[in-house]
A = this chain, B = another copy of it.
Amino acid sequence: MTTHHLAIEKKRIVHLAEGKFNLRTSKMTTGVIRYGYHDSVAVIDSTKIGKTAEDVLGFGGDVPVVGSLAEAMKFEPEALLIGITPPGGRLPEDMRTVIIEAIALGLDVYAGLHDFLNEDEEIASAAKDQGVMLWDLRKPPRSMPVGGGLTRWSKSYISLMVGSDAAIGKMTVALEIHNKARERGINSEFVATGQCGIAIAGWGSPIDAIPGDFMAGVVERDVLSCDGADMILVEGQGSLYHPGFSSVTLGLIHGACPHSLILCHQSSRTEISNIRDRPIPPLNEVADHYLAFVHSFRPECRVVGVSLNTSGTSNEEARAAVEEAEALLGVPATDPIRFGPDKLVDALENHRRELGM
């Protein structure tokens, strides 16, 4: 399927999502259950004991929710995945306790925290004694180049997911498009750029944890490693409108030098989340703002589709939002979760053919 060396082979995974197992707050767990190649055998969340993934998320089948790691052991997990991200990515005490317990039980531990397991004396030495593996999903790669805009000469078609805001569904959109493209026989590659995407794909670099000097260079290298694919879908991060994360977004734009953008938006969102006094402009303005930055390296780049996250609205409201976006930007729009990603795959394929790639 992928030609990339996977960091982790397929494993039986128990997820730690204590008190937070739902669509909004356990992104890692949700993503791996939905899109990952591992066997999710159980989820730890004492507030939802007895439920299944299907009950809680609306997908995932009968993956059971249990109250503790001890209870999860009867499902014979091989690894513990930290499924939730504490603010700032720091390791809380109760989480440390579960990790130490997992190591003692012989489980590998995978986590996407800014505090690396491998650099934590207590955790690292426990893992060493037990001979289990610790995977820090957010640890920058050992060798990191400076970007040179080399993706301008990519022989493969590159599309980048960008968002009006952070946390808007960019990863989900990329994966939906990727899976549908592959279904259709298109040799599509997904370039993960965040720890959830990396846990799902099994490879990739966590761009938001990479030092500023090297963000674009690492993206460039990861995208070029897919050269030869029909289509390279790059997971976006942040938003040019979020003052804290805009630099990560630009690192992706100039690292990937995409041929096209898929603009992602949540139809009900009007302000940048968690930022004081930062309204989201009209979508056509957002599109132009993004293009201004890409055009300095790839003048032919276009927004070829809009992906709307219409969760929490009715089918009717969703369809109206789709029509509004299409009228405003003159490109196909859809909610890939509610209506399927076909329109977006079509749009990308049409553009790719237009460019003769």
Contact = CB atoms under 8 A, between A and B. Distances in A.
Contact of A243 (B209, B254, B275): B254
Interface string A240-282: 1101111110110011010000000000000000111110000
Interface residues of A, number: 44
Given A212-B208, A243-B254, A149 B289 contact: no
A247 B244 contact: no
Interface stretch (A30-38, A213-221, A316-324, A348-356): A213-221
A294 to B, nearest CB: 11
Given A207-B212, A243-B216, A248-B213, A289 B296 contact: yes
A211 interface: yes
Nearest to A219: B247
A173 to B, nearest CB: 21
A149 B273 CA distance: 12
Contacts of A50: none
State how many copies of this chain the complex holds: 2
A11 interface: no
Nearest to A241: B296
A4 B275 CA distance: 28
A209 B212 contact: yes
Nearest to A87: B146
B245 A247 contact: no
Contacts of A213: 114, 208-209, 244-245, 248
Contact of A212 (B248, B257, B278): B248
A237 B213 CA distance: 10
Interface in A187-202: none
Contacts of A152: 277
A212 to B, nearest CB: 4
A243 B297 contact: yes
A255 to B, nearest CB: 7
Interface string A81-100: 00000001000000000000
A147 interface: yes
B247 A251 contact: yes
A292 interface: yes
A299 B282 CA distance: 17
Contacts of A296: 240-241, 289
14 contacts: A146-B244, A147-B244, A148-B243, A149-B275, A149-B278, A152-B277, A208-B212, A211-B211, A212-B247, A212-B248, A243-B297, A244-B254, A247-B247, A247-B250
Given A148-B243, A209-B212, 10 more contacts: A147-B244, A147-B245, A149-B276, A152-B277, A216-B244, A220-B243, A243-B297, A247-B250, A247-B254, A289-B296
